[in-house]
Chain A
Amino acid sequence: MTYLLQQVLNALQLGSIYALIALGYTMVYGILTMINFAHGDLFMVGAFFCFLAATFLHLPFVPTLLIAMIGVALLGVLIERFAYKPLRQAPRVSAIITALGVGIFLENFTLVFAPYPQHVPTLIKNTTWVVGGVSISSLQLIIIALSLVLMAFLDFIVRKTMVGMAMRAISWDKAIVPLMGIPLNLVISATFALGTSLGGAAGVMYALAFPVIDPYMGILIGWKAFIAAVVGGIGNIRGAMIGGFILGGVEILVAAFLPSTYRDFVAFTLLLVLLIFRPYGILGKPRPQKV
């Protein structure tokens, strides 16, 4: 029982990181129907901002987090402006390839300056409490709590504010909504800023929880978060959160009961099975096709 509880806690930690990244994928998809394959690498950049701020500026946790989030958000907006915007009318696949290209650029650019894995200093003094046999670390709690706060904040923005309303409107119809006086480019920029900043936050949390980082760390985690977004139903914000926690849970469970090398195998097989039975994810709805 305590073992199980322990694993649940671990699953929540991993799941919240996946969920934060998955949100970035799902928001961009929702508004541009484009898979931003560079998103996993923006997560990596977030981790590296954290590393830079902590190692060279000796900043504490909160400013580090803010620097990473703002830095990654700016980067995300810039990428959208210069790489994706020219391609809005182009075939969809060109945009996907561009995103892949941007991702590889980010990886290799970082690699030039950090050819070896880097060690992130401890930012949060880690105390561990033992409650009924379950050991809870303060770091774990902070990660889980902070992600939940960020997710609630995002959910609030999307559902209750004008910007959020504009985002939802644009995801329905990109052609008509701008005619209603909604500044399309501004809203798209805002979406990128929000989505990527969450990725940056996830990068910081990941760097704190698993302090050895390298430029390629974003690839596999990015793809997995993308899977989480798909599992939840891509384009659906609450779906992405649910998907993130499901994926985190599955991975921890597999690692707990099977050799850890089976983790990816089980996760991806589950994805395939789910897609067979629910091709549009848990909360997603098929778009009706007109004939």
Chain B
Amino acid sequence: MNRLRMIWEKIVTNRKLLPVLLVVGLLLSFAIPKFGLLNQYVVLIIIYVGINIILSTSLNLINGYMGEFSVGHAGFMAVGAYISAILTTKIIPESLAPWLFPLVVIAGGIGAALIGLLVAVPSFKTRGDYLAIVTLAFLMIVKSVIENIEAIGGPRGIPGITRLTTLPWTFIWVVIAVWVIRNFVYSNYGRGVLSIREDEIASDLMSVNSRQVKMLAFVISSFFAGVAGVLFAHVLQFISPRVFDIIKSTDILIMVYLGGIGSIAGSILGAVIFTVLLEVLRPLGMWRMVLMPLVLVLLMIYRPRGIMGLREFRWFIPGYDLFASKIWRKKKEVKDAAAS
């Protein structure tokens, strides 16, 4: 037992392992479909896990790090999904679509980010429950607008989307999303986000430009929700307004709070556990949908901040941030020694 623990300690403190793992992961993501190492079903589940990681990590930025309560994440997803589906089914010729897919993903993300900018504006003045309602209203409006535009299928949606979301693309986008969000969180702006959660008035009085910070948080969060929407649309191959309703938002919320607020490792854990558990429990039929919320309620009672709440796995903390005080102390020792 003690030995295992030591090995584990060795692994988590060895930061050089991370790039190695990333390269191995990327190679695997190409190799698995190429050589049929896993069956189609498992590959599909892995892709969904990836999409859910992007969703939970990006929502955690708003709900965990900033401490707001957004229920509109599925709305940003819908924006990305629809923009991309229109591009790939109606505008881009089919032969070019696989090559232009990265651009389609970015377009979906940018579309969602622009809408995110719009939602950020009410967050300047309203907070808490009222901001939650604004995001809810936003979600309902997105759904309603889509339902009323016949050109994009109205309530029937868009069928026949080519399956362009592959395992390597999912892997790459997960890494980009996690990396960018982590970088943002461990920056001046990210600390601004945290301070808004802790005490917005004090944060403003400590020179944090809360409007700028909120805008950035919403734009980044919705950009990646849009990206996830694009990936989702191109693996499901069919989208309609009903796919992106409040239940979808609730799923993402569960992943975030299950894994833990204010933690990237938590978001990843939450997404993996949620997605895999739903698949593993499939034999239970409808009872699994009864079990899942019960687990959530018990978790909230016994661990109100989720599994990882406000803690972070060492690998996700930039080295300089993790060791800032140690580095300073070392330097000081050297300086003091030189002085004496």
Contact = CB atoms under 8 A, between A and B. Distances in A.
Q: Do chains A and B touch in the complex (CB under 8 A)?
A: yes
Determine the main DSSP class of A at the interface with B. Answer: helix
Interface in A261-288: 261-262, 264-265, 268-269, 271-272, 275-276, 279-280
A87 B304 contact: yes
Contacts of A226: 133
Interface stretch (B33-41, B94-102, B283-291): B283-291
A97 B296 contact: yes
Given A268-B141, A275-B130, A86 B301 contact: yes
B300 A101 contact: yes
Contact of B286 (A91, A108, A262, A265): A108
Contacts of B130: 230, 275, 279-280
A291 B201 contact: yes
A45 interface: no
A105 B293 contact: yes
Interface in A238-260: 259
A139 interface: no
A136 to B, nearest CB: 31
A93 B289 contact: no
Interface stretch (B77-85, B121-129, B328-336): B121-129
Interface string B55-83: 00000000100010100000000000000
B246 A223 contact: yes
Nearest to B121: A276
A67 interface: no
A265 B145 CA distance: 7
A83 interface: yes
Contacts of B137: 227, 268-269, 271-272
Nearest to A258: B148
Interface stretch (A46-54, A109-117, A126-134): A109-117
A98 interface: yes
Given A86-B301, A91-B304, A105 B129 contact: no
A31 B155 CA distance: 40
A262 B149 CA distance: 11
Contacts of B246: 219-220, 223
Contacts of B201: 289, 291
A234 interface: yes
Interface string A80-111: 00010011001111111110111111001101
B139 to A, nearest CB: 9
B289 A234 contact: no
B305 interface: yes
Contacts of A90: 300, 304
A83 B122 contact: no
Interface residues of B, number: 44
A279 B125 contact: yes
A268 B140 contact: yes
A291 B204 CA distance: 12
B297 A265 contact: no
Interface in B101-156: 122, 125-126, 128-130, 132-134, 136-138, 140-141, 143-145, 147-148, 155
Contacts of B296: 97-98, 100-101, 104
A25 B250 CA distance: 19
Interface in A170-196: none
Given A108-B290, A268-B140, A96 B297 contact: no
A97 B297 CA distance: 8
A226 B148 CA distance: 24
B171 interface: no
B294 interface: yes
Contact of B69 (A29, A93, A104): A93
B292 interface: yes
Nearest to A83: B297
Question: Which of the listed residues B126, B247, B257, B287 has the most CB atoms from chain A within 10 Å of its own CB?
Answer: B257
A112 B287 CA distance: 7
Interface string B232-265: 0000000000000011001001100100010000
Nearest to A265: B144
A227 B297 contact: no
Nearest to A103: B293
Contacts of B63: 93
A35 interface: yes
Contacts of B294: 101, 105
A83 B261 CA distance: 20
B136 A223 contact: yes
Contact of A104 (B144, B250, B261): B250
A181 B196 CA distance: 38
Nearest to A271: B137
Given A35-B129, A279-B126, A98 B292 contact: no
Contacts of A220: 246
A115 B286 CA distance: 9
Interface of A: 29, 35, 83, 86-87, 90-98, 100-105, 108-109, 111-112, 115, 219-220, 223, 226-227, 230, 234, 259, 261-262, 264-265, 268-269, 271-272, 275-276, 279-280, 289, 291
Given A104-B289, A108-B293, A112-B286, 4 more contacts: A86-B301, A94-B305, A108-B289, A265-B145
Which 10 A-B pairs have CB atoms at the shortest separation, nearest pair first?
A: A265-B144, A94-B304, A90-B304, A108-B289, A101-B296, A105-B293, A104-B293, A268-B137, A101-B293, A101-B297
Interface of B: 63, 67, 69, 122, 125-126, 128-130, 132-134, 136-138, 140-141, 143-145, 147-148, 155, 201, 246-247, 250, 253-254, 257, 261, 286-287, 289-290, 292-294, 296-297, 300-301, 304-305
5 contacts: A104-B250, A230-B129, A264-B140, A265-B140, A275-B126
